[in-house]
Amino acid sequence: MAIDIESIRNQFPILHQDVNGMPLIYFDNAATTQKPQRVIDALVKYYSLDNANIHRAAHTLASRSTTYFENTRKAIQTFINAAESEECIFTKGVTESINLVAQTWGRTFLKQGDEVLITTMEHHSNIVPWQLVCEATGAILKVIPITDSGELVMSDFDALLSERTKMVACVWVSNALGTINPVKELIAKAHAVGAKVLLDGAQACSHLEIDVQELDCDFLTISSHKLYGPTGVGVLYGKRQLLEAMPPYQGGGEMIKEVRFEKSTYNDIPYKFEAGTPNIADVIAFGEALAFINGIGKTVIAAHESNLLQYLLEGIGHVNESNNNMISLVGTAAAKISVQSFVVKGMHSFDVGMMLDAKGIAVRTGHHCTQPLMNRFGLEGTVRVSLSVYNTTAEIDVFLEHIGKLVKRSAGK
């Protein structure tokens, strides 16, 4: 099915504005995606008509908001093909989901000398939580290296993997490089030595089909704000057996069965991990975001984004041909999503970003919360273009025109 880009763009009010006197070109989708009108409307509707605290209460608004809230859980279950909706826990986002696993599963099951494997291309949120739990338990953090093109060195992974490995925590798709990691192979190999696998799905979730049962991952973390939904909502998927074996993350209302001063007992999953009043409105609006994606279809979205990436790369190639290869691409893996990092020789990434911003083009600059990855490439940071369902080749043309001028000016210095 061909994508109807105009009708998609018309659903995003934010895109139809000028920034610094120029039509906005939003190329910062890996940081957060924009929200369609139906998501914005869902928030307004909830607070206008449905607002009530969920679960337990005997009145109509509470039962309505509970139903809508739990409907999103079912939508998530379908979206990732979990065996049961109870395996989907609402969190604040990927960062909280990973911390939850590190602090509960990690503190319970890791001991002195055990090993946790991560990769060089992890986001800080899949590094620091493991460092914290390793410090607390005496477990050891080990890192799978990557090649110059930004792919995992699988032979090194094989060599690092052993009976001591208890957890492989790996980004499915790199936010800085766009690399799609061979997670199915990683999972099978990790399981063969008895290790669990957590996938950071922050970037994968909006671009790739997700089937947690087919993948057989133990944990998957995703975030609403990368999926055209509100900020402050994410999901931790975990296999039932693992979630049941883990202690609660936070104590409070909702996560208990019975509270006594001597000892409390805990609720069943998912509620055991959902202490306190959750982010009800945003969870409900997240359901609308999933409906938006399902309405277009992941394969249609992926095909469009892959065309955009191809178009961008050809365009950068042309700019480079006439400008002495002034643009160096960072992240050239064979399997990639529509994210491209680069540096312009002789120019600071931040300056490139500011100059593009003056033309209404929003890109991200800096280390992208992947400092160890930047160190691997000997860089302080990059400029990152990340493309999404509502971006167009016409927008890429404008970007190429301005980056071409910039590069020419820099070359002439």
- Catalytic residue, chosen from 134, 170, 205, 369, is 369
Residue 369 a catalytic site member:
yes
User: Which is nearer to ligand PMP, 93 or 404 (by Cβ)?
Assistant: 93
**Collapsing DSSP states into helix, strand and coil, what is residue 238?**
strand
Residue 221 amino acid letter:
T
- Find the shortest distance in angstroms from Cβ 27 to ligand PMP: 15
- Find the shortest distance in angstroms from Cβ 233 to ligand PMP: 9
For residue 159, what are its two tokens?
A: 């060599």
Q: Which residue matches tokens 């069965």? A: 257
- Find the shortest distance in angstroms from Cβ 104 to ligand PMP: 17
User: Which is nearer to ligand PMP, 286 or 311 (by Cβ)?
Assistant: 286
Q: What is the largest CA-CA distance in the chain?
A: 76
330: CB partners within 8 A, 6+ apart: 150, 176, 177, 341, 342, 343, 377, 379, 382
217: CB partners within 8 A, 6+ apart: 183, 187, 197, 198, 199, 237
- Find the shortest distance in angstroms from Cβ 290 to ligand PMP: 16
User: Using CB atoms, what's the residue nearest to ligand PMP?
Assistant: 93
Q: Are 374 and 340 in contact (CB under 8 A)?
A: no
Q: Are 196 and 358 in contact (CB under 8 A)?
A: no
**CA gap 135, 124 in Å, rounded:** 16
User: Which is nearer to ligand PMP, 203 or 332 (by Cβ)?
Assistant: 203
| Selection from 136, 130, 107 nearest residue 117 by Cα | 130
User: Which is nearer to ligand PMP, 137 or 206 (by Cβ)?
Assistant: 206
User: Which is nearer to ligand PMP, 223 or 349 (by Cβ)?
Assistant: 223
- Find the shortest distance in angstroms from Cβ 208 to ligand PMP: 13
> Dihedral (C-alpha) 405, 339, 149, 161: value to the nearest 10 degrees?
160
**Which class for 43: exposed (0-12), middle (13-18), buried (19 or more C-beta within 10 A)?**
middle
User: Which is nearer to ligand PMP, 287 or 404 (by Cβ)?
Assistant: 287
CA-based R_g, the chain, Å? 22
- Find the shortest distance in angstroms from Cβ 292 to ligand PMP: 18
- Find the shortest distance in angstroms from Cβ 123 to ligand PMP: 3
Neighbours of 306 (CB within 10 A): 15
Q: Which residues bind ligand PMP (CB under 6 A)?
A: 93-95, 123, 125-126, 171, 175, 200, 202-203, 223, 234, 369
**Which class for 109: exposed (0-12), middle (13-18), buried (19 or more C-beta within 10 A)?**
middle
User: Which is nearer to ligand PMP, 103 or 125 (by Cβ)?
Assistant: 125
Length of the chain measured in residues: 413
Annotated active-site positions, please? 369
